[in-house]
Structure 1
Amino acid sequence: MLYSHVLVAVDLIDECRSVADHAMALAKALDAKLTLLHVVEPLAMAYGGDVPMDLSMLQQQQFDQARERMKAFAGDYDLPEEHLQIAFGHPRHEIHRVSTEQNCDLIVVGSHGRHGLALLLGSTANDVLHGAPCDVIAVRLGKKGKK
């Protein structure tokens, strides 16, 4: 079998549905397992690390919201809860870590520019590609009607 376990990294906005759609179609065609991953970045990373207050409560709320959004998002794909992963950290590192731990042989990410998925995967899509422990497919987003 070419691929037996596909990991798709999503940021849980509507635009990333096309990434999940591609990954789901690919996994179904290959009769492969699909794992859906969302990475929650530490708030200190988003603010340059120099935040003079405790962000742990806000971070927990962000993580809890991500869990609820992930369940709703995954419900559209009939994915069981054990196929859902939420990680905390730098997206590139967490995507690589989860793909290694889960024995994934393909990673699917979205890529399109400086907004939307760029908040999670903008330059990270390139990082994921070059440091990945397996093959990577980048699904181009934001090009509706263009070929």
Structure 2
Amino acid sequence: MSHEYRHVLVAVDLTRDSHLVLERALPIAERNGATISIIHALEPLGFAYGGDIPMDVTTLQDQLDEHARTRLAEIADPSNIPRERQHIIVGMPDSEIHRFAEEHGVDLIVVGSHGRTGFALLLGSTSSGVLRGAKCDVLAVRVGQEGDDAQE
């Protein structure tokens, strides 16, 4: 049996299509006897507001982190991905996913792609950022429809 991949990392955005990305990754991991991990990157609130927030947002950031952990578990638990392989990281998504992949010996990253065009394509997306800087294979799974970013 070929063991081309030993550690598959599934990067999700916690939208309603995240399970589709995981569903694509699971058989790949199974065929290769690979470990599977799932990750979501939370941008710090300071990034969204340029760091000029006139109040302490620690409590709010903690609440966002807890919500993300709950949502990630809703996606990962039905596939029996243990909690120690469910990761919430804080930072710029593409660079944090790259860092995690290198530190944990990931050799395949599976990420959802909304297939954007026009301005969204020019500005880049997390999936294209992951693809550009990855030192391992990346599988971009087409999900959703143009303009469909709604969360459950």
TM-score band, normalised by shorter chain: 0.7 to 0.9
TM-score, normalising length: structure 1:
0.85
Gaps of 5+ in 1: none
Superposition RMSD in Å: 1.7
Match of 1:49 in 2: 51
Moved over 4 A (4+): none
Please state whether the residue corresponding to 1:52 is helix, strand or coil: coil
Q: Could you tell me which of 106, 111, 116 is aligned with 1:104?
A: 106
Match of 2:74 in 1: 72
Match of 1:135 in 2: 137
Please state whether the residue corresponding to 1:14 is helix, strand or coil: coil
Match of 2:63 in 1: 61
Please state whether the residue corresponding to 1:95 is helix, strand or coil: helix
Distance 1:16 1:67 in 2: 14
Contact 2:41 2:96 in 1 (8 A): yes
Match of 2:36 in 1: 34
Count of equivalent residues: 137
Gaps of 5+ in 2: 146-152
TM-score, normalising length: structure 2:
0.83
Question: What is the percent sequence identity of the aligned residues?
Answer: 49
